[in-house]
Structure 1
Amino acid sequence: MLRFRATLSLALALALLSGCKSDPNTPEYWEKKLSDAKRGDAKIQVVEALRTSGNLKESFLPMLHQQLTTQKRPEVKAALARAVGDLKSPSSLQPLQAALDPEATDTDTALANKELVAALGKLGDPKAAPALTGMLKAKDSYTRIEAIQALGLLRAPEAVEPLLKLASNEATEPFLHKKAIEALGRIGDARAVPLLMQMLTKERQGISFYVESSYALYQVGAPAAEAVIAAMENRDAALAKWAQDNGVNPASYAMKGAQILGDLRDPRGEAVLIKQLGFTNADPRIQALVRMQAAEALGRMRSQAAVRPISALLTEEDPTVRSSYVRALVLLGSHDAVPALQKAAEKGDWYAREVAMRGVALLSEAQEQPLFTKWAQAEPAVTAKECQDSGGDGCENPDALGMKRAEVILRYAKVPEAVKTCGVDDGCWSRKLADKEASVVERAALKLGRSRNPQHAAALAERLSEKDLDARFALIQSLDWLVSDSKEAAVKAREALPKIQSQLADEKGNSTFIKVNEDLRRLAFRLERA
């Protein structure tokens, strides 16, 4: 009996010790450490130690909420806000809101506000929107930025009007303008469309808002397409007057609107885009840019009505302009464009011809393979004459240059070779996604993207980090088509979303991928909302 009592006493003692103030698994332990720390920096060290200790859990929240109320130093409140935000509990809404000081003017309190706002955003609770909206008027820009981003993540409709006011205020810093535009896009409310249409062409202090505005309009979706079409057809009198008053070139909306319609692939835009293929302007550069954007948009939309009018534009011998038309025809995927491409492949300088040859390859059937042998055999003589007539890079040794170009042409012959091998076998084309030849990968991706078969979504998603830009673009576009065509494909592709987001983060600021990753970013958004 005595032994039993001794054992019981020991067990009780151990139980008491496990919950005492010396146990870092308890909130009491950290509360005492905070109380013992006399200086602000020491208290901050305690909170940061708690955050990294692995002991922080929801049962600590009452203590942390109480500390938010009682701690006077704003820098300590900032640290506590970070800890509370880590737990993302709805119960933290009121304590975080109560700790805000909207009238703050000193740096330390402004920093506390910023961290409190960030913590509120992490909660993901729409009830935080009123407090966050109030912080849009904070004197500190960093706090306002944090509030803007949080409201965007919450997709808070009550924030639309305040954000519109902020984004249209000429006294607002351009960076805040950009953040407000991004938040409006994230919220996706049609009320933002008129302002976003203005910001497409707006510049302040030499800073453009086109990237942010075009993406925001893409996020809004169908109402944005309606506004873009109205602008391109000159039916938006208010926007036309604004553009005139602000010195905006009327062609800007024809050019930039086409890009947005191509992203949205709204079929209502097909007619206006086909009309833009015949756009004329006194400045040939503007004329070409509008036509190029219209062609590429029609390619993304898979508009078969555009095959013939775009093919007719291949007489253009500027390589950059012709390249846009070729890309559009490749996206459209019609073999009917091959005769015009073949004709273009024999006119112009090397760069113009090579672009057309590439188009033939990407739309070829097996019977087109001999064309590339013919072109390769003729290229040394064609290059020699080109060097004699106009010179250029590499013309100091025209024979070597001609042979080098012939090798490029023969590489394109691998595409019709793959067509001969795979035919209509999608399984074969799926394996070709790993081919060493980028043009074969591009052809395979587009073939699978047009298949409407959701089973290919995973294979396309797996290859989105392809380094060749044309191949990566084809992979992104093809997966985007599949996701649009099939809910099942969207479900399968959504499994790759974390990997896509990680890729976008890793490649952010990389100038090589900046343009093609705008398409990847839109795909990621489509998958988020799927």
Structure 2
Amino acid sequence: MGPAHLKLILLFIISLLIPGEKAIGGDIDYLVENLQSSNRQTRLSAVEELGRIREDKAVNALLNLVITKAEDWRIKIRAVRLLGEIADPRVSEMLVKIFNDPFLNNECPAMKWNTAVALGKDFNKGSRAVDSLIDALNYNNLLVREAAIQSLGEIGDSMAVPFLIPALKDKSFAIKFSTIKALGNIGDPQAIPFLKQIAENDNDPYIKGEALLVLKKFSLVSD
């Protein structure tokens, strides 16, 4: 284990012991420098620490890393997921831009669906994230669509309900199941008649069962 790894471990321990303290600027600079390391694990460790710090300089470093084409896609995805935990509308807006940027996502669909997952936080209610995830319901990529549905459910914005309802007729089990759960999480009563149709008429017992569970949340089905 080299000195770079040892210092990263020390910074991590300090951040655990003193969570309320902001990182010293020099430490952030050191972590940003490590993003340029040829060692993948060193870069990943720096990403993890910058994600914990959440100061503007650290956030900007993570955003710059995500749009760096030459970076390992697994490291970029980890940065995206960490950015998604930050309840800052500026960060959410940048994630929306990343999500909608075809040049960042064409070669790596996993980037797009992980960005969709990162946007699925309740603090994004009423933001452009909802609009972008709604648009993603029409994508061809099944994983992106499923992630968008799940994230809309996590956000809980009723605006998404009319756009989710058509997915109840999708041929994919995963899409239908995720849509039912998302509608249950949102809890908007306009979904009730459509969920009742699924509960009464769908041929798949698991789909019917999930619809019944969601309807119970609406207090329409007795135990």
Bucket of the pairwise TM-score, normalised by the shorter protein: 0.7 to 0.9
Match of 2:211 among 356, 363, 375: 356
Name the SS for the 1:277 alignment partner.
helix
Deviations 1:189-246 (A, max 9, x none): 33223245258x9648xxx3467424421344423212111122228xxxx3xx47xx
Aligned to 2:39: 172
Q: What pairs with 1:96-245 in structure 2 (closer than 5 Å)?
A: 139-140=2-3, 142-150=5-13, 152=15, 154-169=22-37, 171-174=38-41, 176-188=42-54, 189=56, 190-198=59-67, 203=72, 208-209=74-75, 212-222=78-88, 223-234=90-101, 240=103, 243=104
Contact 1:298-1:328 within 8 A present in 2 as well = yes
Contact 1:255-1:290 within 8 A present in 2 as well = yes
1:194–1:256: structure 2 CA closer, same or farther, 3 Å change rule?
same
Runs of at least 5 residues in structure 1 that lack an aligned partner in the other structure: 1-109, 111-138, 282-286, 370-412, 415-530
Larger radius of gyration: 1
How far 1:364 sits from its partner (Å)?
A: 3.6
Runs of at least 5 residues in structure 2 that lack an aligned partner in the other structure: none
Q: What pairs with 1:59-74 in structure 2 (closer than 5 Å)?
A: none
CA distance in 2, matches of 1:185, 1:264: 19
How many residues get paired? 210
Aligned to 1:305: 159
Deviations 1:401-453 (A, max 9, x none): xxxxxxxxxxxx42xxxxxxxxxxxxxxxxxxxxxxxxxxxxxxxxxxxxxxx
Contact 2:65-2:71 within 8 A present in 1 as well = no
Match of 1:265 among 115, 123, 147: 123
CA distance in 2, matches of 1:340, 1:355: 13
CA distance in 1, matches of 2:219, 2:76: 37
Letter in 2 for 1:257: T
Question: What RMSD in Å do the two structures reach over aligned CA positions?
Answer: 3.0
Q: What pairs with 1:18-97 in structure 2 (closer than 5 Å)?
A: none
Name the SS for the 2:203 alignment partner.
coil
Aligned to 2:186: 332
How far 1:264 sits from its partner (Å)?
A: 5.9
Name the SS for the 1:168 alignment partner.
coil
1:168–1:324: structure 2 CA closer, same or farther, 3 Å change rule?
farther
TM-score normalised per structure 2: 0.78
CA distance in 1, matches of 2:14, 2:60: 16
CA distance in 2, matches of 1:312, 1:162: 50
Percent identity reads: 20
CA distance in 1, matches of 2:163, 2:60: 36
1:332–1:306: structure 2 CA closer, same or farther, 3 Å change rule?
same
Deviates more, 1:331-340 or 1:210-219: 210-219
CA distance in 2, matches of 1:331, 1:156: 40
Aligned to 1:80: none
Deviations 1:265-311 (A, max 9, x none): 322312111111122x2xxxxx2221222122222222111111111
Contact 2:133-2:149 within 8 A present in 1 as well = yes
1:360–1:290: structure 2 CA closer, same or farther, 3 Å change rule?
same
How far 1:359 sits from its partner (Å)?
A: 2.3
Aligned to 2:138: 278
Bigger relative CO (Cα 8 Å, ≥ 6 apart): 2
Contact 2:184-2:217 within 8 A present in 1 as well = yes
How far 1:337 sits from its partner (Å)?
A: 0.8
CA distance in 2, matches of 1:310, 1:360: 16
Letter in 2 for 1:197: V
